[in-house]
Amino acid sequence: GENVEQHPSTLSVQEGDSAVIKCTYSDSASNYFPWYKQELGKRPQLIIDIRSNVGEKKDQRIAVTLNKTAKHFSLHITETQPEDSAVYFCAGTTGNQFYFGTGTSLTVIP
Amino acid sequence: KAGVTQTPRYLIKTRGQQVTLSCSPISGHRSVSWYQQTPGQGLQFLFEYFSETQRNKGNFPGRFSGRQFSNSRSEMNVSTLELGDSALYLCASNRDIYTGELFFGEGSRLTVL
């Protein structure tokens, strides 16, 4: 089955700096890659996603890039704010099962 | 539109007992999947149901089981509880797991003593 690895496990940045979280996947058949944000004590919520026919997608301060050849995708957050502090999960799927990374705990220091 | 509802939110059990968790998906969503969340392990897939049929199962022992009813509500059961079963159990729904975004419930936090 698919194996999704996520790095780093923890990340601290100064407010206003950028944050980058990287994930790799093993199954070349995976075609959908969502990113979820989970604030402390809250449910995970989708923040951005990308399909395998697209190389990059942007939504305001958040962007995701996908390199199908290298089988990796990344989340980029620019101009970080304290409310960006949360755990971020990447995932990959071929459609019938989601495989999640182990999460990145992001702390934005004011 | 009501979100995904999970009950109970918190529960404490002792080793050897069994537990049943419930998940009510968003209206119109027919796919329900379950995940176990533990520190450092992320979200581990338990199983997925669509129209009362289990379509996929993760690598968990047979003590973990589930079912889905005709109204798409789902339950998961863990028998003969072990200390290592302590976790947050999340369910997620979407119209069909093939269509993308999962909508998560707030989870049921199980503590096994």
Residue B104: which of A44, A99, A103 has the nearest Cβ? Answer: A44
pLDDT in tens, chain B (113 residues): 689 999 999 999 999 999 999 999 999 999 999 999 998 788 999 999 999 999 989 999 999 999 999 999 999 999 999 999 999 999 999 877 666 789 999 999 999 99
Segment A78-105 shows an average pLDDT of: 92
Segment A23-38 shows an average pLDDT of: 94
Shortest distance between the Cα of B101 and any Cα of chain A, in A, equals 7
Q: How far apart are CA B73 and CA A71, in angstroms?
A: 36
Q: How far apart are CA B95 and CA B108, in angstroms?
A: 22
Q: Cβ contacts (< 8 Å) between A98 and chain B: which residues?
A: 33, 45, 97, 102
Residue B41: per-residue pLDDT? 80
With an 8 Å Cβ cutoff, is B39 touching chain A?
Answer: no
Interface of A with B (CB under 8 A): 6, 9, 32, 34, 36, 42-46, 49, 89, 91, 93, 95-103
Please give the single-letter amino acid code of residue B65: S
With an 8 Å Cβ cutoff, is B49 touching chain A?
Answer: no
Region of residue B71 (phi > 0: left; psi between -120 and 50: alpha; otherwise: beta): alpha
Residue B97: per-residue pLDDT? 62
A94: confidence class by pLDDT, cuts 50, 70, 90: confident
Verify whether the Cβ–Cβ distance B101 to A49 is below 8 Å. yes
Among B43, B89, B87, smallest CA distance to A98 is for B43
Q: Which two tokens stand for residue B56?
A: 């996929």
Segment A17-41 shows an average pLDDT of: 94
B96 vs A78, residue with greater confidence: A78
52-81 in chain B: CB under 8 A from chain A: 55-56, 58
Residue B98: per-residue pLDDT? 66
Mean pLDDT computed over every residue of chain A: 94
| Those residues with Cβ within 8 angstroms of residue A107's Cβ, 6 or more apart along the chain or in another chain | A10, A11, A12, A13, A85
Verify whether the Cβ–Cβ distance A97 to B45 is below 8 Å. yes
Residue of A nearest to B40 (CA): A102
Q: Which two tokens stand for residue B43?
A: 């979200």
Residue B91: per-residue pLDDT? 97
* Percent above pLDDT 70 for chain B: 96
Residue A52: per-residue pLDDT? 85
